[in-house]
Copies of this chain bind each other. A is one copy, B any other.
Amino acid sequence: MRINGERLKKTITDMAQIGATPNGGVTRLALSDEDKDARDLLKRWMIETGLEIRIDDFGNLYGRRPGTDPEAGAILIGSHLDSVPAGGRFDGVVGVLASLEVLRTFKDLGIQTKRPVEMVNFTGEEGARFSPPMLGSGGITQMFSSSFIYDRVDADGVRFEDELIRIGYRGESPHRAKNVQHFVELHIEQGPILDTERVPIGAVEGIVGVSWLEVTVRGVRGHAGSTPMAMRRDALIAASVMVSAIAEVATQADKDLLLTVGKFVPRSSAPNVIPDEVTFSVDIRHYDSLIRKRGVQAVKDLLMSIGREKGVDVSVVDLWNMEPTVFSKSLVELICEVSSFLGYPVRKIRGGIGHDAKYMNEICPSAMIFIPCVEGKSHCEDELASWEDIEKGTNVLLHVVYRLAQQ
């Protein structure tokens, strides 16, 4: 039993026309005209596949293939069609269209499963237009209230609910996914590990927890020509020592601890002015909550100690904390087993970024299948996954879903 790789390739290529950018990417922001067109196309394909269509109150679009047991919980598969501005053709899309391909394959082969199998296109996963990310999956798993989601506004002040109605995708709350046995999401890795190791399949064990700190370092402004080195309280030098030391903490502590300073903003910026204030972020991730929290404390201690040593004021704000997600161990093992059965190299891997599966895991045992993306590039027009890997990943999804649907 294998999916039709050529058909899947054509499906993905056709979908990539909607919101296509000149450099090979797509811009398909949530609830935009392009998002509507993408949904309309997907809906047509789902109807052609004989699926029962359903749209819930957040615009999540479902296609259901009934099972033989009307009481059995469904196997839900899918991802999202929305993109960041000038994003890639694969992020989210592969998961949605691989799900369609699985259901097309069941149809072609006349396979009747015990459990219903449903595919879903979640609304507003990227958070690029309406923030925060993962609104559709967060809505049905009650991470967010309906009114919270409906009142999200984009940069132009346009409301989520108004746009949802405008594009004709406001459905009914009873249509939300329910009685779901498992959720499985296929996605490009968005990191370099599988590509570097040349492994086509990643069985995702979970998603790291994240803490964000916002650090402000205050020194004293001065003129580069008239302030002796010994009299300076240079905020940029102090902040630079902090960033270097944070990088050292990362390499010395647990090898999976990820520490990133991504935002770094000196207040003044002229060659002959000694900077008096720098603000920077620290992003701290680990799969183990305790190690992450120890990392947060180690960073804070380090910042304070360097601040004292350099004679600058340091303030640290805890901006955000998200606990790690641990996916179903048995599903992870199933993905490994199926991959080996199909003859595809597989490795267990941990996700570092939020996905719809993260929230779905709150209401049912969930899992993710990663496939490589070239050089780990994602959220850009260069984003690329090979057709071979997409096909392999979809075959893994096919067999995983089949086995789960027969249990």
Contacts and interface: CB of A to CB of B under 8 A. Distances in A.
Interface of A: 189-193, 196, 208, 210, 212, 221-231, 234, 236-237, 239-244, 247, 250-251, 255-266, 268-275, 281-283, 285, 319, 351-353, 376, 378-380
Contacts of A270: 262-263
Contact of A237 (B210, B244, B263, B266): B244
A283 B234 contact: no
Contacts of A228: 191-193, 256, 258
Given A191-B223, A247-B237, A258 B271 contact: no
Contacts of A274: 260, 262
Given A262-B270, A263-B271, A265-B269, 9 more contacts: A190-B226, A192-B222, A210-B225, A223-B379, A225-B258, A228-B256, A229-B251, A229-B258, A236-B261
A275 B262 contact: yes
B251 A262 contact: no
A241 B241 CA distance: 7
Q: What's the number of copies of this chain in the assembled complex?
A: 2
- Sorted nearest first, the 7 A-B pairs with minimum C-beta distance are A191-B226, A225-B352, A224-B260, A240-B243, A271-B281, A240-B240, A226-B352
B264 A352 contact: no
Interface centre among A236, A255, A257, A266 (most CB of B within 10 A): A236
B262 A268 contact: yes
A60 to B, nearest CB: 24
A322 to B, nearest CB: 10
B225 A353 contact: yes
Given A236-B243, A264-B236, A191 B258 contact: no
Given A231-B192, A244-B241, A274-B260, A223 B268 contact: no
A351 B222 CA distance: 14
Contacts of A353: 223, 225-226, 272
9 contacts: A193-B228, A224-B352, A227-B376, A237-B247, A240-B240, A240-B242, A262-B270, A264-B275, A271-B281
Nearest to A268: B262
A273 B221 CA distance: 29
A153 to B, nearest CB: 20
